Structure 1
Amino acid sequence: MERVSPEEMECSKNSKDSAEKLVLFNPPFRKDYELQKLRPSFPPFHTSSGFNPQGAVSKFLDQDLRTPALDKIYSHLWLAGLPKAARPVHRQILLGRTIIITENPNEHLVWNATRIFIKPIPEYLLSRDFWTTEGNALIQDRPLYQSACGFLLSYCWLICTKSDLAIAQDVRLVSSSITWEAWALFVTDLLTNIDPDTLDTVSKRYHFGELRLSRLNLIYRFAPGMFSGQNFMRGFMLEPLWTTAFLERNFAWLFSVFGFVTIVAGSMQVGLGTDSLHGSGKFQSASVGFTVASLIGAIASVLLVGIVWGFLTVYHVLRAKENLKIVRKRRIDRQNSRDSV
């Protein structure tokens, strides 16, 4: 029997591992069913400090598909959503929700009151050639691959009927060139590679469907390990700080309490005008106590609103000044480095 050297055994093992990896990260649909054949074009990579024209496609894919803000709180996501598929878009409309376009994958399928945020499907994900050429990071990076598969699965949830596809095309979620027949074949082929029951090939974020924004904000502010000054102020998704929006969002319950107090106080006043209750010492004591408590509560509530509003205003002013200093310093440093070259 021919003896195999340790080097050959190691080489054989590496080849086997590579083959298994290639099979594991195959694009989740066959070329016959791809919905986009054109080569996509990418804008300059966008960062918090501006644009980088030389940004790699892999960085763009990270920004466009990964959900780090949700992965960070995966253990708490059960508080914000159910571990089940999101509703199709026609059901979203029936629920009175307006579809709001977002390009942030962290905000995809997040809802609040009468809105739901949905990220349009990137056309490059529908091209098998892209997966194996410019976008080869999709088949080489397991977390990125799972994010891409999860995002495609979310559209299997959203578009289940012809009416869903028509609505999605009307609000620019998918290309108007996609026909229902082509979409049905694509989804059928996709679901043979992405098991919607085990979800073992999608990122953990897509173990849940729709996520409630108010709950995500609470998780970011108060969940163990998440508390920080920035998380407490901003929550998961920063919302307007305009006076009207702020009061409606955080202190609407006060108006309900004031309405209840007004009704009770009015009833007590009517009771004091009757013969049977006018002479009741207990009822008069209760009326006096309730009146005093109501006045104190009203004054305290107004002061609370003013203090919170003032604190938030000062916080954002200080943050704006700090950010201005950082940005100016970064621009000066870049200018100096450019001049030195």
Structure 2
Amino acid sequence: MALFFKPSASPSEKHHWHTSQDTVGTSSRTTPSKAASSLHISPIYVDAKYWSYKAWQPKHNISEFLLRELDVSRLNVVYNLLWWAGRQAPPRPLHRWKMLGLKISITEQADLHLVWSAENLFVKPLPLYLLDYSFWLRFICDEKQPQDTYESARGFLLTYVWLIRHPSDLEIAKHEWLLPGDMTWAMWIELVDSIWDHSSDLSCPESISKRYKYGALRLTRLDHIYRFAPRFYLKYLLDGYVQSYSSYGGFFKREFAWLIVAFAYLSIILTGLQVGLGTIQLRDNNVFNKVSYGFAIAAIMLPAVILAVIIFLHSTHGL
């Protein structure tokens, strides 16, 4: 892999991963690895928001690209609630997720990296630019670059140390397109050694984004946080953390499934009220008649109101 060699170097001059004390200017930020210079960024980036989008080329503003590409602010903002979705512990290695029957699904969203559901573990492939020493020096470790980029990049790279602990994990990562196909176990060990040397304590790492102090996060619990936390209540009441439908059919299937249970419960109550009105003891009871009347009207109006609210909220979010 050319990435691990000096330019124009012979095979005998292979450049090993090692601890580096190089800095940029007076920067106190350390680089986790050293490799030949190589730039591997997306040729196009699209900012999409509902019905509009803006496309631009990252090569013209790499700093902005990295801020967006590695952005985990949606998780950092709810850091105090992440205990509900996961633990402050390293994520399981890849082979363990396979043992549990989960499918490894590729995502290019950093804030979906290591988020899991009943069937899937979402993993963002390791960008090649994070294996490029000169890229770190110029665009990440330089004091002129945003601190958020530095902390997110270090935290993201650290997750791969935990995900790939055995040769079997490495083979899974290559098979799932998470790492370059020509990455060898010896190369990986050198990379991990370099990262380890630049982290004073990997059990409680410093200078990483707060999100990465947690391991894998459960998607359903993130949905709970985003739906019911007071600051997000109306904005994310329907979508939760991730919009999980791409059509109106999927929308109605998910959003109205709980209404079936609610309607069943209402039917039982209405049946009980009807039986009560047929008895001598309750037929002429003024209070019971008023309760029955009010509940019947509410049962008629409530489904229509709920339907209107859901459609209104959904229309403001777009599908």
Verify same fold: TM over 0.5.
yes
Distance 1:319 1:253 in 2: 21
Q: State whether residues 81 and 209 of structure 1, in contact with CA within 8 Å, keep that contact through their aligned partners in structure 2.
A: yes
Most deviating of 236-245 and 118-127: 236-245
Q: Which residue of 2 aligns with 1:114?
A: 119
Q: Which residue of 1 aligns with 2:203?
A: 197
Q: State whether residues 132 and 139 of structure 1, in contact with CA within 8 Å, keep that contact through their aligned partners in structure 2.
A: no
- Report the 3-state secondary structure (helix = DSSP H, G, I; strand = E; otherwise coil) of the residue aligned with 1:232: coil
Distance 2:135 2:24 in 1: 20
| TM, length-normalised to structure 1 | 0.67
Sort the Cα spacing of 1:114 and 1:308 in 2 relative to 1 into closer, same or farther, 3 A.
farther
1:313 aligns with 2:317: no
- How far 1:251 moved relative to its partner? 3.3
Distance 1:144 1:244 in 2: 36
Structure 1: unaligned runs, 5 residues or longer: 1-17, 262-295, 324-341
Distance 2:205 2:226 in 1: 25
Q: State whether residues 25 and 142 of structure 1, in contact with CA within 8 Å, keep that contact through their aligned partners in structure 2.
A: no
1:103 aligns with 2:103: no
1:158-197 to structure 2, matched below 5 A, reads: 158-194=163-199, 195-197=201-203
Amino acid across the alignment from 1:45: Y
- How far 1:129 moved relative to its partner? 1.2
Amino acid across the alignment from 2:226: Y
Most deviating of 235-244 and 88-97: 235-244
Q: Which residue of 2 aligns with 1:25?
A: 29
| TM, length-normalised to structure 2 | 0.71
Q: Which residue of 1 aligns with 2:54?
A: 50
Sort the Cα spacing of 1:41 and 1:210 in 2 relative to 1 into closer, same or farther, 3 A.
closer
Distance 1:52 1:20 in 2: 30
1:219 aligns with 2:225: yes
Q: State whether residues 29 and 142 of structure 2, in contact with CA within 8 Å, keep that contact through their aligned partners in structure 1.
A: no
Q: State whether residues 140 and 150 of structure 2, in contact with CA within 8 Å, keep that contact through their aligned partners in structure 1.
A: no
Cα displacement string for residues 70-101 of structure 1 (whole angstroms, at most 9, x for unaligned residues): 01100111111011001111111111111111
1:124 aligns with 2:122: no
Sort the Cα spacing of 1:88 and 1:19 in 2 relative to 1 into closer, same or farther, 3 A.
closer
Cα displacement string for residues 19-71 of structure 1 (whole angstroms, at most 9, x for unaligned residues): 8952x212122x2xx3x753324313322222123740001101111201001
Cα displacement string for residues 282-316 of structure 1 (whole angstroms, at most 9, x for unaligned residues): xxxxxxxxxxxxxx9xxx69x75x76555433433
Cα displacement string for residues 181-216 of structure 1 (whole angstroms, at most 9, x for unaligned residues): 100111111112123122112111011000011111
Distance 2:313 2:110 in 1: 28
- Report the 3-state secondary structure (helix = DSSP H, G, I; strand = E; otherwise coil) of the residue aligned with 1:230: coil
Q: State whether residues 72 and 111 of structure 2, in contact with CA within 8 Å, keep that contact through their aligned partners in structure 1.
A: yes
- How far 1:124 moved relative to its partner? 0.2
Looking at CA atoms only, which structure, 1 or 2, has the larger radius of gyration? 1
Q: Which residue of 2 aligns with 1:251?
A: 257
Q: Which residue of 2 aligns with 1:71?
A: 76
Of residues 148, 153, 174 in structure 2, which corresponds to 1:148?
A: 153
